[in-house]
Structure 1
Amino acid sequence: MGLQENYLEYRNHINTLKTDQGYIKYILKIQQIMHQRQLVSCMSYSKWLKLLHAMTDLDFPPAFIVKLVTENRDLQAEDQFVKKIPWYLGDWHPFYHDAMPVFIGIEYLIVKPMLSKPRGRLIDDLILDQTDQFRTLLQRLNIVFDEKNSCFKIYAYHSK
């Protein structure tokens, strides 16, 4: 499916949610938190969809963890994720495919564009590294990010 079709599909699902009371409360809660914490949006729906679509340009979809605006930061989970090379792939699909949360609720992603493939007990794992390709992809899409130790923090919201 092309980018235009992905955008139309996403808009249809969001428009369906606009009458859902739970979704409306969720949006109001996010707006309240954004105001309290003075957060500014760095990502639009179209930018998110371009990022998800661009994952097909990579050799494998990199693993990531999500920090939602409504959640407290889990430093332990983030630290563990950053220190290890993932053996699993990331699911870079929108919420209606049971993958990423609704974009408006994402504060940031931490992405590790590396993959550890086991080769047996006596041989070290094969490490696939697409750090350079991922960085180039983010720069091409003008996405706000920080990079540290081959991990990328992609900001959906940033403090003023």
Structure 2
Amino acid sequence: MYNLQENYRRYKQAVGHPDIPLFKQKINKILQTQQFYSLMNDTKWLKLIHCIHELAFPPAYTVKLLNNAEQESVLIGIPNYIGDWSYFFDEGMPIFFCIEYIKVKAMLSTFRGKLIENEIQDETEALEKILIREHIPFQLNNNVFTIYGYKRAGTIVAK
């Protein structure tokens, strides 16, 4: 795994691709017309991904993108899968400037057999400590973290 500075360099190189400015213009138009304000920046997203590796497992997440109005991000129950917390240039999380929010459930259910209860790993407290330590704004509801890239004008984030 690369260090944080190297990942920042790789990210900036990837967003320097000739197709990115046109896509960013479309996103900026959505931000302006729907009156969104930013809560995260590239550095915070990179730091979040970097710090996720402090957890016992990479938690499952869903993403709501600004340019996909129909998609609703939902996590129900305890996931039995892990999340792909690699960078978009490594075919992981989407490019940061188009993420409206991500929902993260820092729990993992592992099947142990038909007669034995699943093993449940819970990294909720550890993830909350990371988010607070790194000053990443979030809301926690029913053990699901919502980390906002953007919010609409007139709304606030609790933490």
Structure 1 residues 73 and 144: alpha-carbon distance in aligned structure 2, compared to 1, 3 A threshold: farther
SS at match of 2:43: helix
Within-5 A mapping of 1:123-138: 123-138=116-131
- Offset of 1:74 from its aligned partner? 3.6
In the alignment, does 2:109 pair up with 1:116?
yes
**Distance in 1 of aligned mates of 2:44 and 2:70:** 24
Q: Deviations over 1:28-70 (max 9, x none)?
A: 1111110111111111111111000001111111000000001
Aligned-residue Cα RMSD (Å) equals 1.2
Among candidates 131, 151, 154, match of residue 158 of structure 1: 151
Q: Deviations over 1:100-154 (max 9, x none)?
A: 1110110000000000000001111011001000011011111111100100000
**Distance in 2 of aligned mates of 1:127 and 1:73:** 32
Aligned residue number for residue 25 of structure 2: 28
**Distance in 2 of aligned mates of 1:114 and 1:73:** 27
Amino acid at match of 1:133: A
Tell me the percent identity.
40
Q: Deviations over 1:67-96 (max 9, x none)?
A: 000112544x61xx2x21111111111111
Structure ranking higher in helix proportion? 1
SS at match of 1:57: coil
Within-5 A mapping of 1:25-104: 25-75=22-72, 78=74, 81=75, 83-104=76-97
Structure 1 residues 142 and 73: alpha-carbon distance in aligned structure 2, compared to 1, 3 A threshold: farther
Please list every run of 5 or more consecutive structure 1 residues that lacks an aligned counterpart in the other structure: none
* TM-score normalised to structure 2 length: 0.91
Aligned residue number for residue 13 of structure 2: 12
- Offset of 1:25 from its aligned partner? 2.8
Amino acid at match of 2:32: H
Amino acid at match of 1:71: N
Aligned residue number for residue 3 of structure 1: 4
In the alignment, does 2:108 pair up with 1:107?
no
